[in-house]
């Protein structure tokens, strides 16, 4: 079952049916999911991993259903709704079929490898001339239908899951591969020309450097490496990123794009005032606002499309992620240092970092229905379960130790008596 889940990850991330048009009519993603569901129903050994984040996700699912049902602008044929519930189905499959820590390791490493292949393919296409001209800059986009900003966000989210993969590294080529993955991700983000993506990778690098025990080496690497990276970028991309602090460095439409997000948020507030409980329905902001465009903010998207119920659901989900991390950190401190324990803790920590990234990118993007919310929730839930198992076995071993020592002491006394 685990390899079927890995195959689904590849289909969802790399999306070959968006790359090669002849695959569109075959609907291979639907056929694959139906085959996976059939095997899960009749052939897979099932379990269920209970975790608090499921309640947060369930509350969000309820708000999506209610907002869609009550909306006068959409129904359940809405593509955004259908795609989100497909991801929710994957969440259920993961929590009900992954039974061993080995399977979680396969899933995490496969996710990192698939992201690397996706980035490498996108970079190759960019080198061959594929991209788009926006805001006065030729920008890299995803090999699928992802625009530059969406690609930069996806790569940023993927970087977080390299943290647990690092705990599994044992050989030199593992570390070389990880350095290559980070370098590839950084290059892709810079070439997208996404200002939020650029800030995201900078903040991630600074936070990672300060929290690492090798912080001074990493700080020195950033100090000397940043100028080399900066001057290797084309002048137009440099000017694009300079608009973060100096709007005059780029075209006027770059500043208009930034200002529009504030205007759209105020429109979202007005929509929420008219529909305070459940909003106007998923992906309906473009219709109700009259702009024909998405809200471009997570917070405007949530309150306008799902209302107060959606906002409460989002807060509840974030709190559940935080509680998972606090519990994992406590268990990690109580357990002896071991590679498997460290891996599980890092998965939960990486999921927490992913949520912080989602909240940060939500300042400039409508990412409420991103798969990352659900995928990282499933990864964290499984990792915390296995971390609890490690702690249980650790306590069991401690309780058995005195009895074992007493038994060995009794055997030595009897041995001495028999010799006498």
pTM: 0.85
By C-alpha distance, which of 237, 231, 208, 234 is closest to 221? 208
Torsion angles phi and psi, residue 138, rounded to 5? -80, 115
The secondary element (H helix, E strand) that includes residue 39 is helix 28-42
The secondary element (H helix, E strand) that includes residue 134 is strand 132-134
Number of H helices, E strands in the chain: 18, 2
- Fill in the DSSP letter of residue 46: -
Answer yes or no: are the C-beta atoms of 167 and 148 closer than 8 Å.
no
Answer yes or no: are the C-beta atoms of 383 and 107 closer than 8 Å.
no
Distance CA(94)–CA(116), nearest Å, equals: 22
**Structure tokens given for 97:** 């079929």
Q: In angstroms, what CA-CA distances link 246 with 15, 118, 139, 165, 251? A: 37, 33, 20, 38, 11
Answer yes or no: are the C-beta atoms of 4 and 41 closer than 8 Å.
no
Question: What secondary structure does DSSP assign to 244-276, as a single string?
Answer: TT-GGGS-HHHHHHHHHHHHHHHHHHHHHHHST
Torsion angles phi and psi, residue 133, rounded to 5? -95, 110
At 113 the three-state DSSP class reads: helix
* Backbone angle region of 370, left / alpha / beta, with phi > 0 → left and psi within -120 to 50 → alpha: beta
Torsion angles phi and psi, residue 312, rounded to 5? -65, -40
Torsion angles phi and psi, residue 137, rounded to 5? -135, 140
State residue 102's pLDDT score: 92
At 78 the three-state DSSP class reads: coil
Q: Which residue has the tokens 């044992």?
A: 170
139 pairs with which residues across the strands?
A: 132
**Tens-level pLDDT at each residue, the chain (420 residues):** 899 999 999 888 888 777 777 776 777 878 888 898 898 888 888 888 889 999 999 999 999 999 998 888 888 778 888 888 988 999 999 999 998 899 999 999 999 999 999 999 888 888 888 878 777 777 888 887 778 888 888 999 998 899 899 888 888 998 899 989 988 998 888 888 888 888 888 777 776 666 566 666 666 766 666 676 666 776 677 666 676 665 655 565 555 566 677 788 889 899 999 889 888 889 888 888 888 888 888 999 999 999 999 999 999 999 999 999 999 999 999 888 888 889 999 999 999 999 999 998 888 888 899 989 999 999 999 999 999 988 888 787 766 545 555 455 445 544 554 444
Question: What secondary structure does DSSP assign to 388-403, as a single string?
Answer: HHHHHHHHHHHHHHHH
Dump strand ranges (E) for 340-380.
none
State residue 117's pLDDT score: 92
At 212 the three-state DSSP class reads: coil
Domain ranges in the chain?
Answer: 51-419
* Backbone angle region of 135, left / alpha / beta, with phi > 0 → left and psi within -120 to 50 → alpha: left
> How many other CB atoms are there within 10 angstroms of residue 207's CB atom?
12
């Amino acid at each position: 079952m685990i390899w079927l889940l890995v195959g689904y990850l590849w289909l969802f991330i790399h999306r070959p049916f968006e790359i090669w048009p002849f695959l569109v009519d075959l609907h291979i993603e639907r056929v694959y999911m139906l085959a996976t569901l059939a095997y899960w129903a009749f052939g897979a050994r099932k379990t269920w991993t209970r975790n608090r984040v499921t309640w947060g996700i369930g509350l969000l699912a309820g708000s999506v259903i209610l907002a869609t049902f009550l909306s006068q602008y959409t129904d359940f044929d809405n593509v955004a709704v259908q795609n989100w519930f497909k991801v929710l189905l994957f969440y259920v499959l993961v929590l009900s079929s992954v039974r061993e820590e080995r399977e979680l390791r396969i899933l995490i490493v496969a996710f990192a490898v698939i992201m690397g292949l996706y980035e490498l393919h996108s970079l190759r296409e960019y080198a061959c001339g594929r991209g788009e001209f926006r805001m006065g800059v030729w920008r890299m986009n995803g090999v699928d239908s992802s625009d530059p900003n969406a690609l930069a966000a996806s790569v940023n989210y993927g970087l977080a899951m390299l943290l647990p993969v690092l705990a599994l590294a044992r050989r030199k080529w593992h570390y070389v591969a990880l350095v290559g993955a980070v370098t590839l991700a950084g290059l892709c983000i810079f070439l997208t020309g996404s200002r939020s993506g650029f800030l995201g990778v900078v903040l991630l690098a600074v936070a990672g450097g300060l929290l690492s025990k090798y912080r001074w080496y990493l700080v020195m690497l950033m100090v000397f490496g940043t100028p080399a990276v900066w001057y290797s970028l084309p002048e137009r991309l440099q000017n694009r990123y300079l608009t973060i602090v100096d709007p005059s460095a780029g075209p006027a439409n770059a500043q208009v794009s930034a200002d529009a997000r504030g205007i759209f948020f105020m429109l979202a507030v007005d929509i929420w005032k008219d529909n305070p409980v459940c909003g106007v329905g998923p992906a309906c902001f473009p219709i109700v606002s009259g702009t024909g465009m998405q809200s471009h903010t997570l917070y405007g998207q949530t309150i306008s499309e799902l209302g107060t119920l959606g906002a409460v659901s989002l807060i509840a989900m974030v709190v559940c992620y935080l509680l998972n991390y606090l519990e994992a950190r406590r268990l990690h401190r109580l357990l002896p240092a071991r590679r498997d324990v460290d891996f599980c803790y890092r998965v939960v920590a990486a999921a927490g970092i992913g949520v912080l990234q989602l909240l940060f990118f939500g300042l400039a993007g409508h990412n409420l229905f991103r798969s990352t919310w659900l995928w990282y929730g499933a990864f964290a839930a499984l990792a915390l379960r296995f971390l609890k198992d490690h702690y249980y076995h650790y306590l069991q071993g401690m309780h058995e130790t005195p009895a074992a020592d007493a038994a060995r002491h009794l055997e030595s006394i009897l041995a001495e008596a028999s010799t006498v």
